[in-house]
Chains A and B, each alone.
Chain A
Amino acid sequence: MSSNNNHHDHPKENFIQSYIFSVDHKIIGIQYGITSLLFLLFGFSLMAIMRWQLAYPGTEIPIVGFLFGEGGVLVSDQYNSLGAMHGTIMIFLGIVPLAVGAFGNYLVPLQIGAIDMAFPKLNAASYWTYFVGGVIMISSFFMPEGAARSGWTSYPPLSIFENGQTIWLISMIFLITSSLLGSMNIIVTIVQLRAPGLTWMRLPIFTWAQFVTSFLLVLAFPPLEAAAVMQLMDRVASTSFFLPSGLVMSGEIVEVAGYGSPLLWQHLFWFLAHPEVYVLILPALGIVGEILANNTRKPIWGFKSIIYSMVFLGFVSFIVWAHHMFLTGMGQAMSAFFQTTTMIISIPSVVILTSYFLSLWGGSIRFNTPMLFALAFLPMFGIGGLTGLPLGLAASDIYLHDTYYVIGHFHYVVAPGTIFALFAGIYYWFPKITGKKMSEMLGKLHFWPSLIFMNGIFMPMFIQGLAGVSRRLADGGQSYAHASGVLEWNEFMSISAFCLGLAQIPFIVNIIMSLFSGEKSSRNPWDSTTIEWAAPSPPVGHGNFDKPVNVYRSSYEYSVPDAKKDFKPQFEK
């Protein structure tokens, strides 16, 4: 603790005040981090159960089989529940809170030299709203109706009549509120609390990414909230926002006023959910940018084009949503428009990725664990992005829509893409957060198997998808003749998934071991240039820095010819 902060006149806070209901952005960031990592693990386990079913349909699930009906065999309804909850938990409770809630909260104030977020209490409120939303979501497993089973997209009319959806909607309203509070806070913090001298073009890539991401969250989530309210009305007040006239269910006409439209839900849903894709990927791109610059010991190539691309990406992401809806019969003019904008939005993504690849050129690369994850991110995200192009073109999408090809595509973006970047970020900033270094050996033991098994899971999905195997089949396609040629991949993918689970053990061990017996870290263990490394490791109490921060130069001045060391930090004259 430094002596110049004004903590003296406050009584000492007890454990609950300082670690549970804290308003310090660092503690809230860690709370977000731990909670969302647990949700990621939980979402992963749901997937593991589904993958068992796909590989060995009709056999008893090992270990957790007693949870699932007769003989421990998964029935289709339960499979649907697991699928819907896997998607929901991974996206809304796992990755977004980890990328924006944890990394954004912890690092944005540090990277801009601020003592805290602009609204510390709102920040705590954001975490607790998220927590309550998560509890409600998980509680739906124990409700008499069971968890939601209409997919994470919750398309009506199915979602209006299926069990469990009401709890899903209520939980989503909490989660939307939470991310709204959090992202508002990040925007105000970045605009208002930058240290003296930190101009916009001196902001690090990670902070820029958080800035754009927060705008997407603020502007794209409310329409889904509106849609969620309407779906709730459809379920609770028997309105018919999303139910057409003359809808027949189980041979009987549904008694509603009618004239509603299932397409309306899809429009409102994808108006959020497409920008949401960029919410998932932009923070990852930010993290990777930081680590690449640091470990190639070079300024990042094309810094300005990357920033402009991110901002452009943010804008265009609002006008591409209906490329998820080519098969809904919304009309050719609409399809043509959205296919054009979709092709346009691939340009900034390629600019960013190309700049990152070019940044490697001629660098003296340090292959430490964060760098390995960041390097693996590049081709993995590349595969994910490029396989998206055929889906963005209406003609080829007609064939590929709702097949395993789509699952493979977006998992390549999110799993070995975003999640690898988040792993990289954890390894990279762990010394700053805890003051201890993580083990390199365990880190590599985590990285290599993860990389192999990730590809083992998702690469065969392209093969299955191109053969025409649909997603969301509880038996993995056993009952379809056209799937029979590619079904043997199911077992391979499932075994890869189980091994991927095992490959996370070194990571968990590494975190716990390093926390207690890791090597002590200095302020700036990676010889980095950005401002968070000016703070002590871990940053001091409530206030972060032990001396005032001034910023003198742009963010990545590595390999400066006349410098004493090979880098010039932003915060040193």
Chain B
Amino acid sequence: MEIPYSIEEREDTGLINSKLGIWIFLASEVMLFGGLFSAYIFLRLAAPPGDFEYWASKLSVPMATVNTMVLISSSVSMVMAWASLKLKDFSKFKMYMGITLLCSALFMVIKYFEYTSKFSHDIFPSSSTFMAIYFTLTGLHGIHILGGVVVMLYFYLPFSHQLWHDQPEHFTNRVEALGLYWHFVDLVWIFLFPVLYLL
């Protein structure tokens, strides 16, 4: 049984189901991170002057800058992957998706070194309120990256060719939804970077 408007757009709304679905999901994600960001503001206002700045100075800005670049590149290659599908070029899609996966892996590796360098200096979430919100926000963001990677692998691993072959349009739409999610995760980082590292 086929659910209507899974592949073609509904005329009066101009949408396919999955696109509306992913946007609503992203709205809820905005509220999730919004809750944490407002907690950041709340705690920062409650902290003694200079406390947040002091702890923020212990973070590594160069590492985070590299990570920002890596994540933006992954967003670009994600768009290219989707565009290649629109041009019906599956091998190019594989290449761009591979680059996106590499970038996400690189991001997590850098994040791993960032975390361990903190731990080796005896800095833990319990060290200060700033560190608590830092680890919570970046940790939750990291989980979102991992979630994205799992879905990307599903579209990247060898059996994806069969998925593409069976329903090319459906496959393209799914990658588009994944792309929207990925840009959102990227965007969260764009907010996290200045808020945690620079302010």
Q: Please list the residues of chain A having a beta carbon within 8 angstroms of any beta carbon in chain B.
A: 5-7, 114-116, 118-120, 122, 180, 184-185, 187-188, 191-193, 218-227, 229-230, 233, 237-241, 256-261, 264, 267-268, 271, 542-543
State which of B28, B35, B135 has its C-beta within 8 Å of the C-beta of A184.
Answer: B28
Q: Which residues of A are found within 8 Å of B124, using beta-carbon distances? A: 237
Q: Does B87 contact A (CB under 8 A)?
A: no
Q: Which residues of A are found within 8 Å of B135, using beta-carbon distances? A: 233, 237
State which of B17, B34, B126 has its C-beta within 8 Å of the C-beta of A238.
Answer: B126
B28 touches A264 (CB 8 A): no
A184 touches B125 (CB 8 A): no
B136 touches A229 (CB 8 A): yes
Instruction: Decide: A192 near B126, CB < 8 A? Known: A222-B29, A240-B132.
Output: no
State which of A188, A225, A227, A543 has its C-beta within 8 Å of the C-beta of B1.
Answer: A543
Q: Write the nearest CB–CB distance from A436 to chain B, whole angstroms.
A: 26
Over the window 47-76 of chain B, the binary record of Cβ atoms lying under 8 Å from chain A Cβ atoms (1 yes, 0 no) is 110010000000000000000000000000
A116 touches B29 (CB 8 A): no
- Complex Cα distance A151/B28, Å? 26
Q: Does B4 contact A (CB under 8 A)?
A: yes
Q: Which residues of B are found within 8 Å of A241, using beta-carbon distances? A: 39, 43, 129, 132-133
State which of A5, A188, A543 has its C-beta within 8 Å of the C-beta of B21.
Answer: A188
- Complex Cα distance A224/B34, Å? 11
Q: Write the nearest CB–CB distance from B137 to chain A, whole angstroms.
A: 10
| Interface residues contributed by chain B, number (CB under 8 Å) | 43
Q: Does B128 contact A (CB under 8 A)?
A: yes
B129 touches A240 (CB 8 A): yes
Q: Does B140 contact A (CB under 8 A)?
A: yes
B126 touches A264 (CB 8 A): no
- Complex Cα distance A115/B35, Å? 37
B132 touches A193 (CB 8 A): no
Chain A minimum-CB-distance residue to B36: A226
- Complex Cα distance A257/B52, Å? 13
A218 touches B13 (CB 8 A): no
Instruction: Decide: A6 near B1, CB < 8 A? Known: A223-B32, A259-B48.
Output: yes
Q: Please list the residues of chain B having a beta carbon within 8 angstroms of any beta carbon in chain A.
A: 1, 3-5, 10, 13, 15-18, 20-21, 24-25, 27-29, 31-36, 38-39, 42-43, 46-48, 51, 124-129, 131-133, 135-136, 140
Chain B minimum-CB-distance residue to A542: B1
B39 touches A193 (CB 8 A): no
Instruction: Decide: A223 near B132, CB < 8 A? Known: A192-B20, A237-B126, A257-B127.
Output: no
Instruction: Decide: A187 near B24, CB < 8 A? Known: A226-B32, A257-B127.
Output: yes
A239 touches B126 (CB 8 A): yes
Q: Write the nearest CB–CB distance from A178 to chain B, whole angstroms.
A: 13
Additional A-B contacts beyond A192-B20, A260-B43 (9; CB < 8 A): A115-B3, A122-B21, A188-B20, A192-B16, A221-B31, A230-B39, A237-B132, A259-B48, A261-B46
Chain A minimum-CB-distance residue to B31: A222
Show 16 residue pairs from A and B whose CB-CB distance is below 8 angstroms, ordered by the A residue: A115-B1, A184-B25, A193-B4, A193-B5, A219-B27, A225-B32, A225-B35, A226-B33, A237-B126, A238-B126, A239-B129, A239-B132, A241-B43, A241-B133, A257-B128, A260-B43
Instruction: Decide: A192 near B17, CB < 8 A? Known: A118-B3, A259-B48.
Output: yes
- Complex Cα distance A185/B126, Å? 39
B28 touches A230 (CB 8 A): no
A184 touches B48 (CB 8 A): no
- Complex Cα distance A224/B38, Å? 12
State which of A188, A226, A239 has its C-beta within 8 Å of the C-beta of B17.
Answer: A188
Q: Write the nearest CB–CB distance from B109 to chain A, whole angstroms.
A: 23
State which of A6, A222, A268 has its C-beta within 8 Å of the C-beta of B28.
Answer: A222
Tally inter-chain residue pairs, CB-CB below 8 A: 141
A118 touches B136 (CB 8 A): no
A259 touches B47 (CB 8 A): yes
B35 touches A223 (CB 8 A): yes
A218 touches B27 (CB 8 A): yes
Chain B minimum-CB-distance residue to A255: B126
Chain A minimum-CB-distance residue to B21: A188
Q: Which residues of A are found within 8 Å of B43, using beta-carbon distances? A: 241, 259-261, 264
State which of B5, B34, B128 has its C-beta within 8 Å of the C-beta of A192.
Answer: B5
Instruction: Decide: A223 near B20, CB < 8 A? Known: A115-B3, A229-B136, A239-B126.
Output: no
Chain B minimum-CB-distance residue to A258: B129
B28 touches A219 (CB 8 A): yes
Q: Which residues of B are found within 8 Å of A237, using beta-carbon distances? A: 124-126, 132, 135
Q: Which residues of A are found within 8 Å of B39, using beta-carbon distances? A: 226-227, 230, 241, 264, 268
Q: Write the nearest CB–CB distance from A438 to chain B, whole angstroms.
A: 30
Chain A minimum-CB-distance residue to B42: A264
Chain A minimum-CB-distance residue to B140: A229
A5 touches B140 (CB 8 A): no
A219 touches B1 (CB 8 A): no
Instruction: Decide: A184 near B21, CB < 8 A? Known: A230-B39, A259-B47.
Output: yes
Q: Write the nearest CB–CB distance from B146 to chain A, whole angstroms.
A: 16
Q: Write the nearest CB–CB distance from A253 to chain B, whole angstroms.
A: 15
Instruction: Decide: A257 near B126, CB < 8 A? Known: A226-B32, A241-B39.
Output: yes
Q: Which residues of B are found within 8 Å of A220, using beta-carbon distances? A: 31
State which of A180, A184, A192, A222 has its C-beta within 8 Å of the C-beta of B13.
Answer: A192
Q: Which residues of B are found within 8 Å of A261, using beta-carbon distances? A: 42-43, 46
- Complex Cα distance A256/B34, Å? 26
Q: Write the nearest CB–CB distance from A266 to chain B, whole angstroms.
A: 11
Q: Write the nearest CB–CB distance from B5 to chain A, whole angstroms.
A: 5
Q: Which residues of A are found within 8 Å of B27, using beta-carbon distances? A: 218-219
- Complex Cα distance A320/B132, Å? 29
Ranked 4 nearest A-B pairs via Cβ? A226-B35, A223-B35, A239-B132, A222-B32
Chain A minimum-CB-distance residue to B55: A257
Q: Which residues of B are found within 8 Å of A227, using beta-carbon distances? A: 35, 39
Q: Which residues of B are found within 8 Å of A229, using beta-carbon distances? A: 36, 136, 140
Q: Which residues of A are found within 8 Å of B20, using beta-carbon distances? A: 187-188, 191-192
State which of B13, B18, B129, B132 has its C-beta within 8 Å of the C-beta of A191.
Answer: B13
- Complex Cα distance A193/B15, Å? 11
B1 touches A119 (CB 8 A): no
A118 touches B1 (CB 8 A): no
- Complex Cα distance A90/B25, Å? 26
Chain B minimum-CB-distance residue to A221: B28
Q: Write the nearest CB–CB distance from A254 to chain B, whole angstroms.
A: 12
Q: Write the nearest CB–CB distance from B97 to chain A, whole angstroms.
A: 23
- Complex Cα distance A187/B34, Å? 22
Chain B minimum-CB-distance residue to A185: B21
Q: Write the nearest CB–CB distance from A249 to chain B, whole angstroms.
A: 17
Chain B minimum-CB-distance residue to A116: B3
Q: Which residues of A are found within 8 Å of B46, using beta-carbon distances? A: 259-261
